[in-house]
Amino acid sequence: MSEKFSHGYALLIGVGESGYPKWSLPVTVKDIQALQGILIDPNLCGYPDDKQHIRLLNDAAATRSAILEELHWLKNQADADPEATVIIYYSGHGWLDQSTDNYYLIPHDVEPVDISNSALSAVDFTNALRQINSQRLLVIIDSCHAEGMAIAKNNQTAIKLPPTFVETPLPKSLINELKQGNGRAIFTSSRGYQKSWVRPDGLMSIYTYHLIEALKGAGNQPGERVVRLSNVMNHLGKAVPENAFKLYQAEQIPFFNTVCEDFPVALLHGGKGLSTGERTNLQEQASDRVSQVVQVSGNGSTATRDAIIDSKVTSGNENVVQQGTYNVNIGKARNVSIGTNNTTENPNK
């Protein structure tokens, strides 16, 4: 019988339908539905399939007030469970008001003529997160899909934003605010003014597609029984940039920022872990994944992930190799850090 990730709690937000139809983003609903299916699968991540552990907000339900209410629900769950692992996932528009330097997540009930008072401001979002006293909190923001949706729909007309607003991933200053506290990890799907692209089949974003791969064990080794932050970072950091370039000749580099030790975010195959054969099958099924080898420059040009400890490795352009009990080895993502009080700098900000 499969185990349960009984201390896991997740809030999945995919805004989808907007009250202002031109700003709708249907793929975000597909993102969270696919992610929910993986999390509650007893043979995969093992989250309990009930509203005490996992909740979805999408379309008309994804209002500003509802998002804040569900963040308060997570606060209550964490207060009641000292062992809680909390995941907050947002898929939707993220806009920066350049006139005030304020950032907003765009809910269903946004008012186009009054974004500052109807959208979810970074200040309110951050304050709500600070109330969640979990020692293990992962916030994932997959925003700025606009150009990817245009391609997916064969429509080259970008959405029209109000004056002074630009679509952008979370600014570095906001990430630094979000990570305040113990046990915090912030992942974003892209950085700077990069777009977060949608797969050509329109089924989900590139980032969520590879996030699901990671939760299935794409970043794990045979014998491991849980998926950790480092496993997710390792896979996303390689697969997302590779696929964005392969599919659209575009740059999309995930951003990771942690102030915590590596921790499990889900079970791996129901707690049974991967066999060598299962890992081989997983690699074959994910046909557009990148190589599992980290290329480095200098003496000894290649290092595999199971040969980093006690090995001399020289990192090359855009490579990061970190040593420790759980290694994070990223090919294309330069901004990776695991460990207490670590920070990750973004040179493009």
Which domains occur in the chain, in start order?
A: 8-290 (3.40.50.1460)
**259 phi and psi, to 5 degrees?**
-130, 50
- DSSP state, 16? B
Residues 6+ apart with CB under 8 A from 277: none
d(CA 79, CA 72): 11
**Tens-of-pLDDT digits for all 349 residues of the chain?**
468 999 999 999 999 999 888 888 899 999 999 999 999 999 999 999 999 999 999 999 999 999 999 999 999 999 999 999 999 999 998 888 888 888 899 999 999 889 999 999 989 999 999 999 998 999 999 986 544 443 433 333 466 777 888 777 666 666 666 656 568 899 999 987 788 899 988 889 999 999 999 999 999 999 899 999 999 999 999 999 999 999 999 999 999 988 778 999 999 999 999 887 777 777 666 654 443 322 222 333 222 333 222 222 223 333 333 333 333 333 344 444 444 444 443 333 3
- CB proximity list for 188: less than 8 A, separation 6 or greater: 140, 141, 142, 143, 169, 170, 175, 254, 255
pTM of the model: 0.78
Dist CA 345 CA 192 (whole Å)? 12
212 Cβ partners below 8 Å, 6+ apart? 34, 35, 38, 204
